[in-house]
Amino acid sequence: MYFDNAEGMVFRPPSEANSLILRVTIGCSHNACTFCGMYHDTAFRIRPEAEVTALIERAAALYPYQRRIFLADGNALILPTDRLLKIMHHLAQAFPKLARITCYGGPHDILRKTPEELAALRNAGLHIIYLGIESGDDEVLSAVNKGVTAAQMSAAGQKVIAAGIKLSGMIILGLGGKDRTNGHAINTAKIINEINPTMLGALTLMLHEGSPMRQAAENGEFYPLSPYELMLELKEMVAHINVTQPCIFRSTHISNFLPLAGTLPKDKDLLLTAIDQVLDVFRNQTSPTYNARNQY
Ligand code: SF4
């Protein structure tokens, strides 16, 4: 639910469809990942306190019984913790039925916060941080200009979990193209095992119009995976994921060729079987538009 008329496009995770979107920042402070077209046309800025206060008052008048609020845009955690806490306390007063606050978190913003700051945010109602892990492979992270190493990403994810905040990680199938598919699969599984996110979403690389990655593909410098290769990569990744705490896994985004849902590690064999069934379809050269839904 979006009521603001500030500049630029608004993005939120699919699971925040029923949340009020409160843009405490505009755009993304990094804004340099080669695959991302989200905020290319939007200059990053932190919204002044008075602007956010007025927004909260307006939202509370419009939606007084709102239970969920998502702090946008791309990395709301860049705000100093005392500023975030002030906003969250205002939200708690303005929305008496408020049950959860969520936001995207950039790895560097998370690493900058102390365990005590993260605990204070949790106590103030920060329920989920969405972290774009994208890949656990250093070559892939560097190639897509993510601005972070796998070790830093892993440390950031683990810090969120250690603070008692739920972590929803996102990874991108096909991000390493044909050249790095194996390293991407295995090293991404490795980082997932280290972090053990509460939720894990697998998206498939989409080459957005105007993005440097699309340009690289058009120039013959990046070779995207075929649907069959994407399935092989997903199989390799899932096969190497060995989390010890329950992790809700979803690959149900519109970009995905095969929608899958389950809880790891419990449903690992079922997920692998579902992927194998699709691979068999490919091998038997039957319908290339196979679209079975597999939910466990
Ligand atoms: S993927 Fe995330 S960090 Fe990278 S430019 Fe897009 S919004 Fe910013």
Q: Where are the domains of the chain?
A: 14-284
**From the CA of 3, how far away is ligand 1's center (Å)?**
23
Tokens, residue 155: 């440390």
- pLDDT-derived band at 282 (thresholds 50, 70, 90) equals confident
Dihedral of CA atoms 108, 191, 189, 296 in degrees, nearest 10, equals -80
Q: Is the CB of 33 under 6 A from ligand 1?
A: yes
Q: Is residue 10 classed as helix, strand or coil in its secondary structure?
A: coil
Q: Which of 26, 28, 108 to mutate to test ligand 1, by most ligand atoms within 8 A of the CB atom?
A: 28
Q: From ligand 1's centre to the CA of 30, what distance in Å?
A: 6
Q: Is the CB of 136 under 6 A from ligand 1?
A: no
CA of 20 to the centre of ligand 1 (A): 21
Task: Say if residues 251 and 202 touch (Cβ distance below 8 Å).
Answer: yes
Q: What token pair was written down for 140?
A: 């892939």
Question: Who's near 247: CB < 8 A, 6+ residues apart?
Answer: 192, 196, 197, 198, 199, 200, 241, 263, 264, 265
Q: Please name the residue whose Cα sits nearest to atom 7 of ligand 1.
A: 74
Name the nearest CA neighbour of 84 among 110, 57, 58.
Answer: 110
Instruction: Say how many Å lie between the first and final Cα of the chain, rounded.
Output: 30
38 Cβ below 6 A of ligand 1 = yes
| Short-list 112, 107, 184, 181, CA closest to 149 | 107
Q: What percent of the chain has pLDDT over 90?
A: 85
Which atom of ligand 1 is least distant from the CA of 28? 8
> Can you give the pTM of this predicted structure?
0.94
Residue-wise pLDDT tens digits, 68-102: 999 999 999 999 999 999 999 999 999 999 999 99
Q: Per mean pLDDT, which range of 21-25, 186-190, 285-289 is the poorest?
A: 285-289
Distance between CA atoms of residues 38 and 8, nearest Å: 9
CA atoms of 143 and 176, how far apart (whole Å): 8
In this predicted model, what pLDDT tens digit does every residue of 251-266 receive, in sequence order? 988 888 888 999 999 9
> Which atom in ligand 1 lies closest to the alpha carbon of residue 106?
3
Whether ligand 1 lies within 6 angstroms of the CB of 180 is answered as no
Mean pLDDT confidence for 180-200 = 98
Please indicate whether residue 237 or residue 39 has the higher confidence score (pLDDT).
237
Average pLDDT, the chain: 93
Any ligand 1 atom below 6 A from CB of 36: yes
Q: Contact at 8 Å (CB) between 153 and 190?
A: no
- Residue located nearest, by CA, to atom 8 of ligand 1: 31
Between the CA of 264 and the centroid of ligand 1 the distance, in Å, is 27
Residue 31 Cβ inside 6 Å of ligand 1? The answer reads yes
Query: Does ligand 1 come within 6 angstroms of the Cβ of 28?
Result: yes
Measured CA to CA, the distance from residue 290 to residue 245 in angstroms comes to 32
Relative to the CA of 32, which ligand 1 atom is closest?
5
What is the third-level CATH fold of 14-284? pyruvate-formate lyase- activating enzyme (3.80.30)
Q: How confident is the model at residue 296, as a pLDDT?
A: 36
